Chain A
């Protein structure tokens, strides 16, 4: 069925020695019916990867298969996919109905069938009353639904979403996110969803692919990615505020950084140069100075439910997130940071890879 398999997929612009590679060999297996989110900062190649699956960009190397069929040289319309674009890409001069029906008309689907499918999609998306309107008469959220409707009526093996929520306001975005989840539960179609927004990624994904600079940094469930980031990039990208990364030298139960020796709750995974990671939300701040890791508080931000405490741990900048109802530490004070042993992450500073403990 609608499985997708990426095998060492490469994208280069130009050719010969001057070729500019933008995707360096991405491999992934996506099962039928899975909802996969591709997330990464802008320019990481996530959209390019999606467009290669869609057939809008040529594949410079490797192989992409959809439903067991290699699609490298197959036209987008023949790949059994549907795509929702960032700017919706609705045909401005056609009514909502014609926008949704256009692909089916070209595929010479009988008119009765077209009508049934469009009506059904319109019902699911609650755009029935707008079928005769032009896109410009609709709000952003409604246009977005029409764009999804156009994808649904094709009854494809795979849905491709290219940052479809980025043009909506925050409230509508959250609402549409829920609807996309509902829709996926209902239709069960394999979906690839590109976004730069980690909240979208975490909430929508069954599994997510984190990309950076044309490489796949990690693929896994949102829990795996959050709890065991594979690289320092993933550690810094997923989670807000990002994970604290402290460089130093480990030796048994000691971690030397910026003139301070931190006592570890559990021995470092090896001796030598290491990066220690700790998420702001996993820190416990204790007023008693003298014991634990000494944090000098510089700034405290109130966010309502929580407070962010910024300061310095040795030479390293450090952020901690504490309950908003607690009395915050005073600016300039020194507090000590406690962390549960299982909350510590270790990375190799040379390879930036996670060290399993």
Chain B
């Protein structure tokens, strides 16, 4: 069991607090920086750790674009947020639906070549996006999907991991339930919709969180398939904000953008966390 004595308790709290500090401090610096002007950030050494008074205008500029204190133009972040959001949603919903269906097929149907199909799906687990990025790009470009939502999402939808997870879950659903549904006259899709999917809600919620963050944080793939600024997702957008050459970086705006990019995944985690706790507490097969 866990240490019960006072020293052990104090020590574990100390370690945990240090851990939180290490992780939270950069986020805090980012947040503080986004409330100051870029002159303040650059000129004051070390940077002030107290919130500055320019939060509202910085975020306004970051979201909707405009002139900064240096007089340079900043591209609006709002459309990028939207693109990231749509891509992440399409990727996670697409992944979950396709994996649910393919796991359903693998577990409940006996079709010729079932074993081989399963292993072929399973083998793709060994190949991350980065390894097959060349050929995938070739395909996407030949299909004229560059600079489109389809190009950003479709290649990332297929998921062996999620298929495997749902397959393992379906295998634990008692056979008698399938038989009861057959006697009740539920066809395969009806059984899928009325019984399997409701039973899988906890796994779906967990996967949604993981896949949303995965989709949101895509960097390499959007870098390849988007050349038009109007299709940039936010993670790429942050990188694009670093000025090249002699121009000064608008650190306050960059930091504000970073905070904005962090918010939606954090929000999804918070929202879904309540969900799976509920799912864990009252799920029973």
On A, residues with C-beta under 8 Å from B are 54-56, 75-78, 81-83, 85-93, 102-103, 106-107, 136, 150
Contacts and interface: CB of A to CB of B under 8 A. Distances in A.
A54 B181 CA distance: 12
Interface in B165-199: 174, 176-177, 179-186, 190, 194-195, 198-199
Contact of A76 (B176, B182, B199, B285): B182
Contacts of B176: 85-89
Contact of A89 (B177, B185, B199): B177
Contacts of B190: 106
Contact of B186 (A81, A86, A106, A136): A106
> Which 9 pairs from chain A and chain B are nearest by CB?
A77-B185, A103-B184, A89-B176, A89-B180, A93-B198, A136-B284, A106-B185, A85-B176, A76-B183
Nearest to B284: A136
Main secondary structure of the interface of B (DSSP, over half): helix
A90 B183 CA distance: 12
Contacts of A91: 177, 180-181, 194-195
Given A76-B179, A81-B183, A89-B174, 5 more contacts: A55-B182, A56-B183, A91-B194, A102-B186, A106-B184
A106 B193 CA distance: 13
A83 B184 CA distance: 9
A89 B183 CA distance: 11
Contacts of B194: 91, 102
Interface residues of B, number: 19
24 contacts: A54-B183, A55-B183, A56-B182, A75-B182, A76-B183, A77-B182, A82-B183, A83-B179, A83-B183, A85-B179, A86-B176, A87-B174, A89-B174, A89-B176, A89-B177, A91-B195, A92-B199, A92-B284, A93-B195, A103-B184, A103-B185, A106-B185, A107-B185, A136-B284
Contacts of B179: 54, 56, 76, 83, 85, 89
Contacts of A90: 180
Contacts of A76: 179, 182-183
Q: Which of B185, B186, B194 has the most CB of A within 10 A?
A: B185
B255 to A, nearest CB: 45
A132 B284 CA distance: 17
B229 to A, nearest CB: 47
A83 B180 contact: yes
A56 B190 CA distance: 18
A122 to B, nearest CB: 18
Interface string B227-267: 00000000000000000000000000000000000000000
A150 B194 CA distance: 17
Interface of B: 174, 176-177, 179-186, 190, 194-195, 198-199, 282, 284-285
Contacts of B180: 83, 85, 89-91, 150
Contacts of B174: 87, 89
B237 to A, nearest CB: 42
A88 B284 CA distance: 14
A107 B182 CA distance: 12
Given A91-B195, A106-B190, A77 B284 contact: no
Q: Which of B179, B180, B182 has the most CB of A within 10 A?
A: B180
Contacts of A136: 282, 284
A150 B180 CA distance: 10
Contacts of A77: 182-186
B179 to A, nearest CB: 5
A92 B195 CA distance: 9
A95 to B, nearest CB: 12
Q: Which of B182, B183, B184, B195 has the most CB of A within 10 A?
A: B183
Contacts of B282: 136
A102 B184 contact: yes
Nearest to B186: A106
A54 B180 CA distance: 10
A136 B283 CA distance: 9
Contacts of B182: 55-56, 75-77
Contacts of B177: 89, 91
B184 A92 contact: no
A318 B204 CA distance: 63
Contacts of A82: 183
B174 to A, nearest CB: 7
A85 B177 CA distance: 9
A103 B183 contact: yes
A54 B267 CA distance: 50
Q: Which of B181, B182, B184, B282 has the most CB of A within 10 A?
A: B184
A107 B284 CA distance: 27
A103 B282 CA distance: 25
B178 to A, nearest CB: 9
A307 B182 CA distance: 50
Nearest to B173: A92
Contacts of A89: 174, 176-177, 179-180
Contacts of A87: 174, 176
Nearest to B185: A77
Given A102-B194, A136-B284, A93 B183 contact: no
Contacts of A150: 180, 184
Contacts of A103: 183-185
Contacts of B195: 91, 93
A238 to B, nearest CB: 29
Nearest to B190: A106
